[in-house]
Amino acid sequence: MIYAFNGVAERQKLWEFLINEVTHCNEPWLWTGDFNTVLNHVERLGGNTIEIEMKQFQECVSLCYMEDIQANGALFTWSNKQEPVDRLYIRLDRVMENFEWMKEFGDYTAHFHPEVLFDHCPCTIADRKMRINGRRNFKYFNMWGQSDLFKECVRNVW
């Protein structure tokens, strides 16, 4: 779990720590949380992106061989909840994996739900294969309709 500080200097210490940990450990990594910065300009609507903080984050992600897992739902995961003219929308939250994670644990996806009470969107992470394979089609057999209990059973369930 990642919670990056608001300040650029404090975040830089986190990036250095992560780079150091990853280069000394060739294990599966999954990062999720609030990174408090963006990877590129399209992840921000309103306000200004500070180039140095974006560059530092890009460098960390690159040196650690991390990439975003497939995500759906809300693109912007945080807002300042200000009036429309002053509102900011930014993708601060993300889920990232390295190749070792994908190879060992499979194909995951992140779903960012709409913000409700808080300024960040909640996120759920799911194994795509389990979700696809866990889904079953409804099957109806004509013989069920012949039973005297069928209509009563359907009425109770509905």
54 within 8 A of 37, measured Cβ to Cβ: yes
DSSP helix, strand, coil percent of the chain (3-state; round to 5):
40, 20, 40
Write down the domain spans for the chain: 2-157
Per-residue model confidence (pLDDT) at position 85: 86
Nearest to 88 by CA among 52, 43, 53: 43
The pLDDT of residue 10 is: 93
Q: Please report the pLDDT score of residue 116 as a whole number.
A: 80
Q: What per-residue confidence (pLDDT) applies to 134?
A: 53
Specify whether the CB–CB gap between 77 and 91 falls below 8 A: yes
pLDDT at 120: 93
3-state SS, 28-88, equals CCEEEEECCCCCCHHHEECCCCCHHHHHHHHHHHHHCCCEECEEEECCCCEECCCCHHHCC
Structural fold of domain 2-157: Deoxyribonuclease I; Chain A (3.60.10)
pLDDT at position 151: 81
* Per-block mean pLDDT, blocks of 10 residues, the chain (158 long): 92 95 89 96 89 95 95 94 89 95 90 89 84 56 73 77
Could you tell me the two tokens for 53?
A: 């903080």
Question: Can you give the pLDDT at residue 141?
Answer: 62
Can you give the pLDDT at residue 48? Answer: 82
Cα distance between residue 26 and residue 11, in whole Å:
23
